[in-house]
Amino acid sequence: MELRWLSLPLVAPFRTSFGIQTHREALLLHVVGDEADGWGECVALAEPVYSAEHTDGAAHVIEHHLFPRLTGRDPSAADVAALLRPVRGHRMAKAALEMAVLDAELRAADTSFADYLGASRSEVASGVSVGIMDSIDELVTAVAAYLDQGYARIKLKIEPGWDVEPVRAVRAAFPDQPLQVDGNAAYGREHIAHLRGLDEFGLLLLEQPFDEEDVVGHAELARSVATPICLDESITSLQTALDAVELGACSIVNIKPGRVGGYLEARRIHDACLEAGVPVWCGGMLETGIGRAANIALASLPGFTLPGDISGSDRFYAVDITEPVEMVGGRVSVPAGPGFGRSPVPGTLERFTRRSIWLRA
Rounded least distance, CB 343 to Mg ion, Å: 28
Indicate which of ligand OSB, Mg ion, none lies near residue 103 (CB less than 5 to 8 Å, by partner kind): none
Nearer CB in complex with ligand OSB: 1/255: 255
> How far apart, in Å, are the Cα atoms of 328 and each of 38, 149, 314?
28, 8, 12
Least gap, CB of 149 to ligand OSB (angstroms):
14
**Smallest distance, Å, CB 184 to Mg ion?**
6
CB of 184 to ligand OSB, least distance (A): 5
Restricting to residues 87-116, name those near ligand OSB by CB under 6 A: none
Binding track, positions 125-154, relative to ligand OSB; x by CB under 6 A: ----x-------------------------
Total number of residues that touch ligand OSB (CB under 6 A):
11
Nearer to Mg ion, 281 or 340 (CB): 281
Nearer to Mg ion, 1 or 255 (CB): 255
Burial of 279 (0-12, 13-18, 19+ CB in 10 A): middle
The active-site residue, picked from 155, 157, 171, 315, is 157
Among residues 94, 107, 191, 256, the one annotated as catalytic is 256
Residue 219-258 contact track with Mg ion, rule CB under 5 A, x = bound: -------------x--------------------------
Contact status, residue 97 vs residue 90, Cβ threshold 8 Å = no
Burial class (CB in 10 A: 0-12, 13-18, 19+), 36: middle
DSSP secondary-structure letter at 157? E
List 98, 214, 309, 320, residue binding ligand OSB (CB under 6 A):
309
Q: What is the largest CA-CA distance in the chain?
A: 60
CB of 66 to Mg ion, least distance (A): 25
Q: Please tell me the distance from the alpha carbon of residue 114 to that of residue 120, in angstroms, as a whole number.
A: 8
Q: How far is CA 229 from the centre of its chain?
A: 18
Show the beta-strand stretches assigned E in the chain. 2-16, 19-32, 37-42, 123-125, 127-130, 153-157, 179-182, 206-207, 229-231, 252-255, 280-282, 327-328, 331-333, 353-358
CA–CA dist 260, 81 (Å, integer): 11
Residues 246-285 that bind ligand OSB (CB under 6 A): 283-285
Query: To the nearest whole angstrom, how small is the minimum distance from the Cβ of residue 283 to ligand OSB?
Result: 5
Instruction: Give the binding-site size for Mg ion (rule: CB under 5 A).
Output: 3
The residue from 41, 182, 212, 287 that contacts Mg ion (CB under 5 A) is 182
181 forms bridges with which residues in the sheet? 156, 206
CA 15 to each of CA 12, 137, 139, 220, 275: distance values in angstroms, whole numbers, following the listed order = 9, 16, 12, 28, 36
Quote the CA–CA distance of 237 and 90 in Å, as a whole number: 12
Whether 256 is a known active-site residue: answer yes
Q: Is 232 in the site for ligand OSB (CB under 6 A)?
A: yes
Residues 179-198 close enough to bind ligand OSB by CB under 6 A: 182, 184
Residues engaged in binding Mg ion (CB under 5 A): 182, 207, 232
Residues engaged in binding ligand OSB (CB under 6 A): 50, 129, 182, 184, 232, 283-286, 309, 311
Active site residues: 157, 256
